[in-house]
Amino acid sequence: MPMTLEDLRETLSTTTGAGSLVPVIIDRLLLEYQRRYAPLHRAIPRKTWSTNSYLFNQRNQLPKSQATTESPTTTQVAASQSNYVQNSFAIKHLQSQLDISTFAAKVAIVNGNLFDLELAGAAKAMAWLEEIQHLYGASNATINTLRPQWDGFDVQIGSANKINGANQVVTLQMLDNMIDSVRGVAAQELGTDWFFCVSPKMSSRINGLFVNQQRFFENMTTIYGRDDFGFPDGPIVDNKVGIDAGVEVQTYRGIPIVLDNLLTSQGQMGAISTTNNTGSGSSLSTSTTYYYIVEAVSRYGLLYGSTEVSASPAGSGNNIVLSWSTPTPTDAFGNTIDIMGYRIYRGTSSGTETLYALSSAYNNSDAAVTSFTDSGLIQNPATNSALYASTVASSGSNAVSDGVTYPRTTSTTEEIILAPRNPEYIVVPVVNEVQAQMLAPVNARTRQFALTSDLTLAMRAGLFGAKLYNVKTQ
């Protein structure tokens, strides 16, 4: 029987409890709201590896050469030889776990296969985790935890090439100073074998300097991922295969400038409190006031430092304990960004703090770390399995600040990295690139996957890179 007009009105009415017959239409485009410049996977050469440590030798001394007579004695010209040092970088492990409902995968088909979407999202998360560890990873501080990291640029770049921007707005002279600190060691022009890594905000500021000094020009260069195409001991060359192989970037003095969102501040570290009357055996002086600032490393970048606090030990041998609450920075959707570690700065006068210790965000029981005990003594987790924080420099048996690494004091304070791209100077040894593994099912309603990766970062010599600290974008 054909439907009458009244029947149609009733069917489409929202007051009778009947639902509308108009189908819901959803655009097949899935908006990727989480977008970040994260160039280091492409910018740093990758080398296929097959053992649990990456080992290489470096020669740091040549045989001695001398002026001599026509018939020298063995005393006048003694035999000599080069000096070689072996370096080791442990392979570390990354993983992302997925548990996907088979029902959801069946009905959620508008934007494509749900399994593919979730695996692609997990792969992106893995790449960003690799990125933040390349920047701020701390191997020693996390070695005894369930979340061990490798050392990032911050640790591996040599102290002599860490330049203080003196809390000033970036200038081209600062960039020149970075270039000169590396060029003198590498004994070559840098060019496309190195790159500047800057935040988008810092890039805009540098562009303004180019315009003001009429040094801006349209010269761009394309940088490609560099790898050995998965062949162990194969040559590491530009990989121009694939749609995501190359990106066009600006240059300064022929050196590519790449953008990295993970260099941008993600908020501020919360308040720090101090306790000065606990413990014994400390080497801290009761006649000295110690000043502290703490930064947090989130998954997507640094939080700029806490408000400065100060304390003196209440009695001889007492420690100073810093305490805080775990920060909860959020992304654009209001999701909490998890914390990966802390950076503790110390000085003996206000405003002079430099990096003193690195701490994991989780202890060896995987509970959140919310304190740091300063005894003035060296803390080395490699020799004490109970530790999950490490001091960064020492003088005799005492821990000291490094004197060169300054905290972010405001949201406009950032760092600029000058890093090599030549595999002679830096590589990412990879045992397994990101790969998906189907896991044994734990129930009949879901399917479990894991994405895994095994790699590390190896700067063959820290003086082939430079880092500009304590510099402002405005």
* pLDDT per 10-residue tile (average), the chain, 474 residues: 62 55 79 88 92 92 91 88 92 95 86 89 94 96 96 94 94 95 92 94 90 56 80 82 69 93 94 94 96 97 96 95 96 91 97 96 95 97 94 95 94 95 94 92 90 94 93 91
Beta strands in 366-460 (DSSP E): 371-374, 389-391, 393-395, 398-400, 413-420, 426-438, 446-455, 458-459
Whether the CB-CB separation of 227 and 448 falls below 8 Å is answered with no
In a domain, 405, yes or no: no
Predicted TM-score of the model (pTM):
0.89
> For residues 124 and 226, what is the distance between their CA atoms, to the nearest angstrom?
19
Residue type, 157: I
Whether the CB-CB separation of 40 and 132 falls below 8 Å is answered with no
- Angstrom CA distances, 237 to 168, 229, 234, 420, 462, stand at 38, 9, 9, 14, 22
Estimate the crossing angle of helix 200-212 against helix 172-186, to 10 degrees.
100
Token pair of 265 as six digits? 């501040």
Sheet holding 273-278, edge to edge: 273-278, 319-323, 371-374
Measured over the CA atoms of residue 285, residue 377, residue 360 and residue 344, the dihedral's sign is positive
Q: What share of the chain is helix, strand, coil (3-state, %, to 5)?
A: 20, 35, 45
Q: What is the pLDDT of residue 352?
A: 94
Whether the CB-CB separation of 296 and 267 falls below 8 Å is answered with no
Identify the DSSP state of 451. E
Token pair of 378 as six digits? 């060296």
- Angstrom CA distances, 266 to 270, 297, 299, stand at 12, 9, 9
Residue type, 178: M
Angle at 72 between CA 70 and CA 74, to 5 degrees: 155
In a domain, 282, yes or no: yes
Q: What is the pLDDT of residue 16?
A: 54
Structural domains counted in the chain? 1
In a domain, 325, yes or no: yes
Whether the CB-CB separation of 380 and 387 falls below 8 Å is answered with yes
> For residues 101 and 109, what is the distance between their CA atoms, to the nearest angstrom?
13
Q: What is the pLDDT of residue 140?
A: 96
In a domain, 327, yes or no: yes
Neighbours of 336 (CB within 10 A): 12
Whether the CB-CB separation of 91 and 454 falls below 8 Å is answered with yes
In a domain, 336, yes or no: yes
Domain that residue 380 falls in: 273-400
In a domain, 149, yes or no: no
The string of DSSP letters for 325-354 reads PPP--B-TTSPBPPEEEEEEEEESSTT--E
Residue type, 396: G
Angle at 176 between CA 173 and CA 180, to 5 degrees: 140
Torsional class of 104: left (φ above 0), alpha (ψ -120 to 50), beta (otherwise): alpha
Residue type, 262: L
Burial class (CB in 10 A: 0-12, 13-18, 19+), 256: buried
For 429, residues 6+ apart whose C-beta sits below 8 A from its C-beta are 46, 47, 48, 49, 54, 89, 91, 455, 456, 458
Distance of CA 114 to the CA centre of its chain: 30
> For residues 284 and 291, what is the distance between their CA atoms, to the nearest angstrom?
12
Q: What is the pLDDT of residue 216?
A: 47
> For residues 295 and 302, what is the distance between their CA atoms, to the nearest angstrom?
7
In a domain, 342, yes or no: yes
In a domain, 304, yes or no: yes
